[in-house]
Amino acid sequence: MPHRVLIIDDEEDIREVAALSLETVAGWEVLLANSGAAGIAKANEQLPDAILLDVMMPGMDGPTTFQELRAHPKTARIPVILLTAKVQAADQKRFSDLGVSAVMFKPFDPLTLARDIARVLGWKDK
Amino acid sequence: MSDPSGVIAARLAELWRQTLPITLERVAALQAACEALGRNPADPRARSAGREAAHKLSGSLGIFGLPRGTELAAKLEEILKSTDPLSRQATMAMGGLIEDLEAVIASKQM
């Protein structure tokens, strides 16, 4: 069965390109949410294999969304990758210290995004 | 099955056209922030709005084949990160970077 990845990002262009990349290059199933709250609801309903989570979003930001996901037993074990525009080393460390599976950076290459996700999550099929 | 790179390139071109108004809105937000900071170098709202627009542009332009745009937006974000009042020199630097950014985006529109 293809992997199912939930993309949580308030930016439509980023959501669309990331979805295109994961579906077209890797053949994965993609779920989309445009806010932290919508993403938490979708994660609880759909239990994706992984979550790609934007850091800077209005309302609930990425780190807060991650903590909410970790606080719920149903979603606590879903691997989460934070996605952010390039940040300084101190911010990168702060994000890594949250306990996410990885921190990845925008802009990403749509042709290699799936491979990069598979690599950091230890998925062997891509 | 179609070549994924061809499919992605075609769809990226379509998405660029579709989301160009959002990109231009972000540049306009940066321009407005620059003007507001020229009038009041300590304006926290202008700084925050400009920084958010720069951050988003930095994350998206490179995906659409504009790495120079990402680089310029990252420089703008860096200028707007400080909480000190913006110096006149920094405001002028912002203006130049925004002009360059507009030129980079216009080059892809043509």
Of A20, A85, A110, nearest to B55 by CB-CB distance is A85
- Choosing among A22, A86, A109, which should be mutated to test the B contact, i.e. which has the most B CBs within 10 A? A86
Mean pLDDT of A64-89: 92
Task: Return all residues near B77 (Cβ < 8 A) that are at least 6 apart.
Answer: A85, B51, B54, B55, B58
Task: Return all residues near B103 (Cβ < 8 A) that are at least 6 apart.
Answer: none
Percent of chain B's residues with pLDDT above 90: 85
Tell me: ipTM over 0.85. no
Mean pLDDT of B26-52: 95
Give the model's pLDDT for residue B71. Answer: 96
Give the model's pLDDT for residue B33. Answer: 97
Say yes or no: A75 contacts chain B, CB-CB below 8 A: no
Give the model's pLDDT for residue B108. Answer: 87
- pTM for this one? 0.89
CATH number at residue A97: 3.40.50.2300
Range B4-109 classified under CATH 1.20.1250.20: no
Residue B40 phi, psi (nearest 5): -135, 95
Domain count, chain A: 1
Q: Which residue on chain B is closest to A23 by alpha carbon?
A: B4
**Where along chain B do its domains lie?**
4-109
Give the model's pLDDT for residue B78. Answer: 92
Asked if residue A35 belongs to a domain, the reply is: yes
Q: CA A113, CA A28: separation in Å to the nearest integer?
A: 12
Asked if residue A123 belongs to a domain, the reply is: no
